[in-house]
Amino acid sequence: MSPFTGSAVRTPGWEHLRVEVADGVATVTLARPEKLNALTFGAYADLRDLLAELSRERSVRALVLAGEGRGFCSGGDVDEIIGATLSMDTAQLLDFNRMTGQVVRAVRECPFPVIASLHGVAAGAGAVLALAADFRVADPTARFAFLFTRVGLSGGDMGAAYLLPRVVGLGHATRLLMLGDPVRALEAERIGLISELTEEGRADETSQRLAHRLAQGPALAYAQTKALLTSELDMPLAASIELDASTQALLMTGEDYAEFHAAFTEKRPPKWSGR
């Protein structure tokens, strides 16, 4: 996302999310614990706009997405979204579904790593938000459920049919998206849906530790790695190799590449500037 902005000013506060930024790490918490952090129209829109704003500012180097209370996110709110969509016309429904997809694109396209910190349920849209993250850190209570067919909709919601086969393979993705059965933490780790399995109650702590490690590292190298991982999913090998070559040539002119050599020569840790 481009760092250039027009007349828009920074959002002074976020109504539907709890946002904290410290030491280059943004912690974004879904904070409706009484509803298992079920998503509303406002929460989707805030996530979309927040990620775009942080991407423009370039002050955040890693982001942790977490849920307050007993679980990560139970998906779209049954009353506030599913009930409301029953009275919408096709144009309004398309606008809504495009917005939810924009959130997933924002997670994938923002220039910093996103870590989903998972405990309890990650269902429906909550499961896709976790899927879109770069890292999924979960404790043993975590369970995923892609529930879209259970409500009479396609399992390929919000890019799930694109992302999930690339994470766990087509066979597992077909089973999870078709049947909507819950996948508990041990199986999720086995099939590659979880990046790191922690002890119970330690997912947030481990996620923060990983986020601070990433925030202290070479931010531009991480941003370009993320961009290539996303871009090259649909590229032939020859095009991927050419894009890799162009990217490396540009990064080799950067300050961080020279800093690594200086630090190696002087036998000290590098001081990464993200440039």
Q: How confident is the model at residue 6 (pLDDT cuts 50, 70, 90)?
A: confident
Q: Is the domain of 65 the same as that of 137?
A: yes
* Range 220-235 average pLDDT: 95
Same domain as 205, residue 240: no
- Is there a domain that residue 9 lies in? no
Q: How confident is the model at residue 1 (pLDDT cuts 50, 70, 90)?
A: low
pLDDT of residue 132: 98
Q: Is the pLDDT of residue 104 over 90?
A: yes
pLDDT of 114 over the 90 cut = yes
pTM over 0.85: yes
Residues 128 and 241 in one domain: no
Q: Determine the structural domain holding residue 245 and report its residue range.
A: 219-266
The verdict on 75 and 107 lying in the same domain is: yes
In a domain, 274, yes or no: no
Instruction: Round to whole Å and give the CA distance between 127 and 181.
Output: 12
Number of folded domains that form the chain: 2
Indicate whether 158 and 43 sit together in one domain.
yes
Residue 12: phi and psi, rounded to 5, are: -70, -25
**Percent of the chain's residues with pLDDT above 70:** 99
| Same domain as 185, residue 68 | yes
Is residue 8 domain-resident? no
Q: What pLDDT digit, counting tens, does each position of 147-156 carry?
A: 999 999 999 9
45: in domain: yes
For 147-201, write each residue's pLDDT tens digit. 999 999 999 999 999 999 999 999 999 999 999 999 999 999 999 999 999 999 9
- 261 and 190 within one domain: no
Q: How many CB atoms lie within 10 A of CB 179?
A: 13
User: Does any domain span residue 10?
Assistant: no
Mean pLDDT score, 33-40 = 96
Q: For residue 242, what are the CA distances in angstroms to 73, 236, 245?
A: 40, 10, 5
Q: Are residues 134 and 248 in the same domain?
A: no
The reply to whether 2 falls in a domain is: no
Task: Tell me: do 261 and 169 sit in the same domain.
Answer: no
